[in-house]
Structures are given as structure tokens and as C-alpha cells.
A and B are shown apart, each in its own frame.
Chain A
Amino acid sequence: GNSVTQMEGPVTLSEEAFLTINCTYTATGYPSLFWYVQYPGEGLQLLLKATKADDKGSNKGFEATYRKETTSFHLEKGSVQVSDSAVYFCALGVSFNAGNNRKLIWGLGTSLGVNP
């Protein structure tokens, strides 16, 4: 079946440290991959995405590369800021019927805290 395994948190870093949050997936077909972010007290918002193998998604200094050979989509940022403190979710977009309809399969989320 389809599933997402995401690095457990919480993760605590100092400002300007390097961030990696691991995400691996199991899927049939050709899924899309996403990272969403949830800031305190808010709903989720899309951070970046990749729709095919070897695509790199990037936004706000964050990057993730769709690696089909290792079934991974690890999130990285070279220098984190206090404002990056949030919960990060990895997600897989898969078809759920014979048509084009898709739904998202979610990782459990990784809480990131950045100290000044």
C-alpha cells in the first residue's frame, strides 16, 4: 500500500544550523511528493513539491529532491532561522479511484524548534 515514514521529532537547532528532515515513502505508480508546514495556531500550507523523479522542489531556502531509487524526499535548509519553528509534514499524492482523483497520504509530522 501507500505510506509515508517521516523522521520523528522534536528537532531542536540553533539559528543558522543545517536542517535535514528525512522522509521515505512506499507507493505504486507515479506519486507526487510534497512538504507542508504548519506554523503555531494555523492550518497547513504548501512549502514545496515535486511531481516526478529527480525533480527538486524549493521555496524559502528549503529544498527537497524526489529520489525514486531510494524512495525518499528529504527536506533540507542550509541555515535555519527562529521563524522556521513549525511542524513539517511530508505527503504523498496518490490516485484513489480509476479517474484522476487523488488524495494525500501524510507523514506524522516533525516539530522543529530553532533557538536564537
Chain B
Amino acid sequence: DVKVTQSSRYLVKRTGEKVFLECVQDMDHENMFWYRQDPGLGLRLIYFSYDVKMKEKGDIPEGYSVSREKKERFSLILESASTNQTSMYLCASTNLHRYTEAFFGQGTRLTVV
């Protein structure tokens, strides 16, 4: 069974902390994505990566960075967490050669206090 796994379901962090959200996929997919999901705003793309060590900014990259050192792992980093980064974070991956079907992790609910 194909799988995208996010390291935490729920996370509570303090303002100013550096936060790491990890995502691992076991499908050998080239493309990986980080989204945040907020009520009324749908899914907003933060960053994506189409190859190891490659990254592209999405629609709302400010305050975030990413790392992709291995094909199966894509990390989202909040350099200095703020309360407006409280959200649901979703990781997804897709295969280069298929019709962009995306597989999602279960999501990480991050609360910054």
C-alpha cells in the first residue's frame, strides 16, 4: 500500500522556536509538496520539490524553508514560529510520469502558542 507519512499528527510549539515537519514517501516519487490548510482558504502551496536538492517557492513561502536531501524525504522548516503559522500542514507526493495523482499524508496540526 502506497504511503506518505508525516512525523507528527499534533504539535504544540512556542513562538520563536525553530520547527521541523518531516514527510517521508515510499513510492519513489519525484515530486513532493507542502501545503497549509486553513478554514475558508483551502490548500495553499508553501514549497515544492521536483528532485533531490531542488526546491521551488509556492504561493506562500514567507517564514518557511524546506530541505530535500534524499528522494523520499521532504522537510518543512519554520525558522521562527509565529502564532499566524498555527495551521494544518499537509505533505503530498506525485509521480512524474502519471497524471499528477497526488498522495497525501495524514496532516500535522501545528499550534504555536
* Interface positions of B from 54 to 96, Cβ below 8 Å from A: 56, 90, 92, 94, 96
Q: Which of B31, B42, B43, B45 contacts A101 (CB 8 A)?
A: B31
Cβ–Cβ contact B43 & A46, under 8 A: no
Give the size category of B's interface with A: 20 to 34
The reply on A25 being an interface residue by CB < 8 A is no
Q: Which of A43, A46, A96, A107 contacts B42 (CB 8 A)?
A: A107
* Interface positions of A from 26 to 72, Cβ below 8 Å from B: 32, 34, 36, 42-46, 49, 51
Cβ–Cβ contact B42 & A104, under 8 A: no
Cβ–Cβ contact B104 & A103, under 8 A: no
Determine the residue in chain B with the shortest Cβ distance to A43. Answer: B104
Determine the residue in chain A with the shortest Cβ distance to B50. Answer: A101
The residues of A with any CB-CB pair to B shorter than 8 Å are 32, 34, 36, 42-46, 49, 51, 89, 91, 93, 96-97, 100-104, 106-109
- Could you give 27 example pairs across A and B, Cβ below 8 Å? A32-B99, A36-B102, A42-B107, A43-B106, A44-B102, A44-B104, A45-B104, A46-B101, A46-B102, A46-B103, A89-B43, A93-B99, A96-B56, A100-B96, A100-B97, A101-B30, A103-B31, A103-B33, A103-B45, A103-B48, A103-B100, A104-B100, A104-B102, A106-B42, A106-B43, A107-B42, A109-B43
